[in-house]
Amino acid sequence: MPILEHLWIIPLLPLLGATVNGLLGRTWPNKIVNAVAIGSTGLSFLSALEAVREFFLLSPEQIPWVQQYFSWIAAGEFRAGFDLQVDQLTVVMLLVVTGVGWLIHIYSTGYMALEGGYYRFFAYLNLFMFFMLILVLAANYVLLFVGWEGVGLASYLLIGFYSLRKSAADAGKKAFIVNRIGDFGFMLGMFLLFRTFGTLDFVKLFDKVTPMSPEAMGHLGTMTVAGLLLFMGAAGKSAQIPLYVWLPDAMEGPTPVSALIHAATMVTAGVYVVARSHVLFMRAPTAMLVVAIVGCATALFAATIGLVQTDIKKVLAYSTVSQLGYMFLACGVGAFSAGIFHLMTHAFFKALLFLAAGSVIHAMGGEQDMLHMGGLSKKIKWTYFTMLTGTLAIAGIPPLAGFFSKDSILLSAYQSENGGPKVGHILYAAGLFTALLTSFYMFRLIFLTFFGKERYDEHHVHVHESPKSMLVPLAILGLLSIVGGWLAAPAFWGGPDYFAKFLEPVFAAPGAGEAGTAEAVAHALETPLAIVAVITALAGLLAAYWLYVKQPSKPDTLAKSFGGVYRTLYNKYYVDELYAAAIVRPLLWVSTNVLWKTIDVATIDGAVNGIAEGATAIGDGTRRTQSGNIRSYAVWVVIGAIVVVAVVFWPPMKPVLGVVR
């Protein structure tokens, strides 16, 4: 088991790449930078593949496979080591991160070819891969948090990659700060878990938790609080209500970054953490319900905003927020494997969509507004085909990947008993409506971009197909978006859901005995629900077709007649403005007027300067006594002598003597 014993190789390779490129790459030609960046991630992908091959040879008792490399923090009872762990969940994440990451690296060599700071971009991208791999391989919460913060750093650096543009720098800061709010909760959650169970190692912690019943810690007990705190962190990283505001702004970064970090991998870290902590969440029904409701609300909320955005990347960004909401909905109703399944398929088709959008932007010479595109389908055929594949996948048209993963989430939501069956049905209805909206806004994107009249100035924009280095990753991701869901396909004709089967050792449900009847019911429901879902998706498609191809003038009339609704959606429900008014501006006011002007300038600087000024004033006053005139000094001596004599010999002055003694 060479690689499994040396798991550290997998994350170390991208770190080496980042170091070499970051320190030495400035003067190198692009080709060498490419070789280092693609080589390191490619090798990392290959070692991950080899590790997975070896993983399949392990016997079930050896899973989860934990390797302890060295103790990092040891304090009393507490130990946090550089320990890496592989189980079925890690395998999925590992392959998604290294595989999709590698493809996006290849794509970036084409996309970034003419940009400045080429070596810097790839150094950051490799650094991101390192931290993301640490995150998914970590065997305890502390090491996971290292990766968690590290990807946040890489995300910040890459959002602000065009650092000369103020909006990019601001977006980077916004992402970083909003994530810190979530991380605060995550850390509190870790502290609470350590306080309660005395360990943060996944295996030990979950072994202690497993025997407990859901009621062991009370309805609103430690489990619920810990779960909610962890979810707070997850909501920050995975852009859920109320902390989603950073993700749309993160589109300021280069498009491959949006694909890799802000769609396929980093933002799914929150889902991964919730799935990883499923043992805790299963024993905290209230926390689960909160996760499901927040996820569902985010899915619906973001989808409605996505309906009217005109920036091609903004549409995809809101779509990502919405799909992440789906994943949390799945986790919240206890269908963790469905959530991870959607995470995987989403990584394929959303990375594809972003990269294809990047290809469109590339072709248009930097134009991102869909209202200035149109009719591109003939000019950039390959981009069009791949993007259409991604759209069909995300809209949930069978037999593409998104159909299977979304269907299993909706099915689980429909069956959810947590908080009563009504809640489950409401979640299902909201999820289904979101699916309709998803299909609509994605096809709106397609029709606006690739169909209809050309709405750009042909003399200035020379539409051209992208280079091979960009098209090949698109083709591979397109293929994955088609076949990625087939792992679960046999479930439709009574066969096993291979993906869920594979993850079963991780997510083994506590009441496995009753699974037989539940499965039968599930199977009976599966086909009708799937048909409903497909009809919904087709309805979205047709609506978009009718509005944006058949009657191109209709959307404007609609927007006018529903002016209030349209403006609210177009301005993203004014959430940014609300946060600015409710949080940012009061904070700024307090910082300026209290912290800065009152405490810093007035109190601290005032005290320091005051002491200095006081000393100067006293000196100014007393320097008059040093006249240089010897006889005036003599007067002082005489006065002193008189005072001493008076104190000693004059009876009324006696008390002074007492004080002096």
Binding site for other proteins (CB under 8 A): 623, 626-631, 634-635, 638
Which of 513, 628 has the CB closer to other proteins? 628
Q: Which of 439, 177, 470 is nearest to 315 (CA)?
A: 439
* Least spacing, CB of residue 645 vs other proteins, in Å: 11
Which of 69, 636 has the CB closer to other proteins? 636
Cα distances (Å, whole numbers) of residue 462 to 228, 358, 362, 366 = 51, 16, 10, 11
* Least spacing, CB of residue 646 vs other proteins, in Å: 15
Which of 596, 633 has the CB closer to other proteins? 633
C-alpha neighbours within 13 Å on the C-beta side of residue 1: 17
Cα distances (Å, whole numbers) of residue 394 to 391, 399, 540 = 5, 11, 12
CB neighbour list of residue 405: distance below 8 Å, 6 or more residues apart: 338, 341, 342, 344, 345, 346, 485, 488
Start-to-end Cα distance in the chain: 85
CB 17 within 8 A of CB 101: no
Angle 312-332/401-415 helices, nearest 10 degrees? Answer: 40
* Least spacing, CB of residue 613 vs other proteins, in Å: 19
Which of 459, 623 has the CB closer to other proteins? 623
CB 239 within 8 A of CB 305: no
Q: State the Cα–Cα distance between residues 106 and 38, nearest whole angstrom.
A: 7
* Least spacing, CB of residue 650 vs other proteins, in Å: 16
C-alpha neighbours within 13 Å on the C-beta side of residue 333: 31
Tokens (6 digits) for 583: 């949080």
Three-state SS across 583-617?
HHHHHHHHHHHHHHHHHHHHHHHHHHHHHHHHHHH
The residues pairing with 73 across neighbouring beta strands, listed in sequence order, are: 80
Q: State the Cα–Cα distance between residues 133 and 40, nearest whole angstrom.
A: 13
Q: State the Cα–Cα distance between residues 307 and 436, nearest whole angstrom.
A: 11
Which of 528, 628 has the CB closer to other proteins? 628
Which of 213, 622 has the CB closer to other proteins? 622
* Least spacing, CB of residue 587 vs other proteins, in Å: 51
* Least spacing, CB of residue 632 vs other proteins, in Å: 8
* Least spacing, CB of residue 637 vs other proteins, in Å: 9
**CB 586: neighbour CB atoms within 10 A?**
11
* Least spacing, CB of residue 633 vs other proteins, in Å: 9
* Least spacing, CB of residue 654 vs other proteins, in Å: 23
CB 468 within 8 A of CB 390: no
Which of 630, 660 has the CB closer to other proteins? 630
* Least spacing, CB of residue 638 vs other proteins, in Å: 6
Q: State the Cα–Cα distance between residues 120 and 542, nearest whole angstrom.
A: 44
Which of 31, 624 has the CB closer to other proteins? 624
Tokens (6 digits) for 67: 């390797």
Which of 422, 631 has the CB closer to other proteins? 631
Tokens (6 digits) for 365: 């010479």
Residue with tokens 């791999």: 133
**CB 114: neighbour CB atoms within 10 A?**
9
Which of 560, 631 has the CB closer to other proteins? 631
* Least spacing, CB of residue 168 vs other proteins, in Å: 59
* Least spacing, CB of residue 618 vs other proteins, in Å: 14
What is the pairing mode between strands 65-75 and 78-86?
antiparallel
Q: State the Cα–Cα distance between residues 407 and 220, nearest whole angstrom.
A: 32
Which of 619, 658 has the CB closer to other proteins? 619
Which of 535, 641 has the CB closer to other proteins? 641
